[in-house]
Chains A and B, each alone.
Chain A
Amino acid sequence: MARFIDKDTRVVVQGITGDQGRFHTRLMKEYGTRIVAGVTPGRGGQEAEGVPVYDTVREAQENHSIDAGIIFVPAPFALDAALESIEAELDPVVVITEGIPVRDSIELVARAKQKNVTVVGPNTPGVIKAGESKMGIMPAQVFKRGHVGVISRSGTLFYEIAAHITRAGLGQSTCVGLGGDPVVGLDYIDLLRWFQEDPETKAVALIGEIGGDAEERAAQFIKEGGFTKPVAAFIAGRAAVPGKRMGHAGAIIQGSTGTAKSKMDALSNAGVSVGELPGQVAVALREML
């Protein structure tokens, strides 16, 4: 995995003329993101939020140097849009779209891997480098430049914990929302590997939730020495009732893993400080740094 994003990353917005695409293009620009082009088929030649619009990514590339792509197009067209950015070898490709069929996500992720492109999402709040650039829909005001890397499956809980980290006087380096769908491009482990090498990250906040066993595998990775910086974690869903689906998507063929307890235990065993309340993550991080 190459660099994520920074103030120099040049971004194309797919679906820039929709309500969400337009609104967040404005907010991203305000934050400092270099949005150089937008794409909406049939809207080529127009402008949106001061950004030139093209019919295809290819045409946008013929006119601009582009590093990365962010996708706001509706679910039925999201696979097509993502493959367009993947073929163009944009990196990362951030897929904000919610409600993409799992079959499409499987193909999207497999194609990205084949092209060696990083996909963030689908159904993600995106990625932000605090104080420099954001490719996503997260509220900018809760972030402040600092040294904590944040990895989260959930969106709003990610903002909650980022706000605590900011209030604790720590701030963030790079923060990534993995996405709430059953099949997404990145796992905790991919990001732990990245944060291990990232000189600006001194510690990591890992935010998980019930379902699947991604958190357990992250714990194993940490335990085996794959990640050596301090980690604090919060897992949502302790009060969840078995069999009632509250999270993003249910787990199948996972055996007995997937409960909040199994995740918290696995992380504790790996030496991670696991908070009972979201705010305790920031407290633990402050003590560790």
Chain B
Amino acid sequence: MLKLLEYEAKEYFKKYGIPTPVGRMVESPEEARAFVESLGKPVVIKVQLPVGGRGKAGGVRFADTPEEAANVAEQLIGMTIKGLRVEKLYVEEKVNIVNEVYLGVTIDRDRKQYVVLASSEGGMDIEEVAACSPEKIVRFYVDPLIGLQSFHSNYIASKLGYRDGLMRKFASFVSKLFSLAVEMDAELTEINPLVEVEDGFLAADARLNVDNNALFRHKELETRLLESYQGELTEREMEARSQGLTYVELDGDIGIIGNGAGLTMATLDTVMLHGGKAANFLDLGGGATPERIRKAVEFVLGDTRTRALFVNILGGITRCDYTAEGIVEARRELGVSKPIVVRMMGTKEEEGKAILKDNGIESLDSMEEAAEQAVKLAGGTV
């Protein structure tokens, strides 16, 4: 999921006619000063990072004058929040808040529908509101064949207690956010808080998480994908990502490579049941080439914490001979002597096993036996 930063999300909000306070992204105290000078109003200055909780971490500050804004920017730029260095700030006019509400659009996978969530309890964690006082949340499921029509938005606005002009204004907000969610392929878009001001509503914050699979429709965002993983992924996970590997770092000492998310997860589970701990989860996906397998094996063996490697392949679309070639090649290149346990079954199984045997690597037929063996070789408790 591509998580856009507030200032990027607000660019899209503006395109969809969603009212936001006047603001600008800045990268230096000078830019902050110049913007506040031209604005001529007090501002709020917010760090732009792909992690939550920036307010509590001191990443949201206020300034009344251009000088103050420059000072605050000076302090904020370069500070570290949750391991991330602040480089960008969003400077925005301070608004007079009458009330704070929540509005979001996401996808309910079980109902196979978009759902609009709205709550009069804005500014808080919506999950918390959902858990503690579910009656304060309006959930509206959208029929995919009808879409969200104006009367639906009116219903949601009315349910939140808005009347007259405010009802119409809030309903229009809902309609616009929904259009944005669908057209931008958002898995989640939310405004928290959405602030009620004297004469209407403004999106004081903006979140827009775009479906990775839909980036072919949003070419301008393709390059943003890797960047967006910052803060969410560890250094090794970032490195794996850039090599195109689906990798999750864990805290054990047995390297795991599997094909398919379900089988790879089950491999981790099996290792755990035999008293071992996985150092990682690496899913090769379907149809890996020898080159891709070599890269994966090198990556996992290159982890200093890894004391043994367990490769578990069930070849449908993935070929066992390619797997064997990749493993042998990786070991040759790295020259490491860490133990490798291979379990393979399926397409080109005999060929794969023969290649491994020629290179002195044993392969097992049973995933459970192989897991036991891997735990033993890593010095576990079996």
- State the A residues within 8 Å of B (CB): 20, 75-76, 98-103, 105-107, 109-111, 114, 125, 137-139, 141-142, 152-160, 163, 180, 182-183, 187, 207, 209-210, 212-214, 217, 234, 236-241, 244-253, 255, 260, 276-279
Contact = CB atoms under 8 A, between A and B. Distances in A.
30 contacts: A76-B217, A100-B213, A102-B211, A102-B214, A106-B107, A107-B144, A110-B143, A114-B145, A139-B346, A142-B345, A153-B262, A154-B260, A155-B260, A156-B259, A157-B266, A159-B316, A163-B314, A183-B112, A210-B265, A234-B266, A236-B265, A239-B269, A240-B268, A241-B248, A246-B283, A247-B261, A250-B1, A253-B117, A255-B131, A277-B368
Contact of B110 (A99, A180, A213, A244): A213
Contact of A212 (B110, B264, B265): B110
A103 B106 contact: no
Nearest to B134: A255
Nearest to B145: A110
B187 interface: yes
A78 B187 CA distance: 19
Interface stretch (B46-54, B62-70, B271-279, B373-381): B271-279
Contacts of A137: 316-317
Contact of B185 (A101, A154, A156, A279): A101
Interface string B334-352: 0000000000011100000
A99 B213 contact: yes
Given A111-B145, A139-B346, A239-B278, A103 B317 contact: no
A240 B265 contact: yes
A110 B147 CA distance: 11
A100 B68 CA distance: 49
B102 interface: no
Given A111-B145, A253-B117, 6 more contacts: A142-B345, A157-B260, A163-B345, A212-B110, A246-B261, A255-B130
A207 B261 CA distance: 13
B216 interface: yes
B23 interface: no
B265 A276 contact: no
B180 to A, nearest CB: 12
Which residue of B182, B187, B217, B266 has the most chain A CB atoms within 10 A of its CB atom? B266
A250 B117 CA distance: 18
Interface in B109-143: 109-110, 112-115, 117, 127, 130-131, 143
B258 interface: yes
A101 B269 CA distance: 30
Nearest to B347: A139
Nearest to A156: B260
A110 B112 contact: yes
Contacts of B268: 237, 239-240, 246
Contacts of A75: 213, 216
B185 A278 contact: no
Given A155-B262, A252-B187, A277-B270, A103 B250 contact: no
Interface of B: 1, 106-110, 112-115, 117, 127, 130-131, 143-145, 182, 185, 187-188, 211, 213-214, 216-217, 248, 250, 258-266, 268-273, 278, 281, 283, 286, 314-317, 345-347, 366-368
9 cross-chain pairs, A with B, having the tightest CB-CB distances, nearest first: A154-B262, A156-B260, A157-B262, A101-B214, A156-B263, A110-B144, A236-B265, A239-B268, A182-B109
A21 B153 CA distance: 44
Contacts of B182: 103
Nearest to B258: A156
Nearest to A256: B131
A252 B107 contact: yes
B262 A152 contact: yes
A160 B265 contact: no
Nearest to B137: A253
Given A106-B112, A241-B250, A160 B263 contact: yes
A260 B314 CA distance: 22
Given A139-B346, A156-B316, A244-B248, A103 B211 contact: yes
Contacts of B250: 241, 244
Contacts of A241: 248, 250
Contacts of A234: 266
Given A106-B112, A209-B262, A255-B131, A160 B367 contact: yes
A88 to B, nearest CB: 19
Contacts of B108: 252-253
B182 to A, nearest CB: 6
A154 B281 CA distance: 16
Nearest to A180: B261
A283 to B, nearest CB: 12
B263 A157 contact: yes
Contact of A236 (B127, B188, B266, B345): B266
A284 B315 CA distance: 25
Contact of B316 (A76, A109, A155, A260): A155
B27 to A, nearest CB: 31
Nearest to B115: A253
B262 A207 contact: yes
A159 B273 CA distance: 21
A236 B187 CA distance: 24
A149 B252 CA distance: 36
A160 B286 contact: no
Given A157-B260, A237-B269, A239-B272, A102 B185 contact: yes
B345 A214 contact: no
Contact of A139 (B113, B214, B315): B315
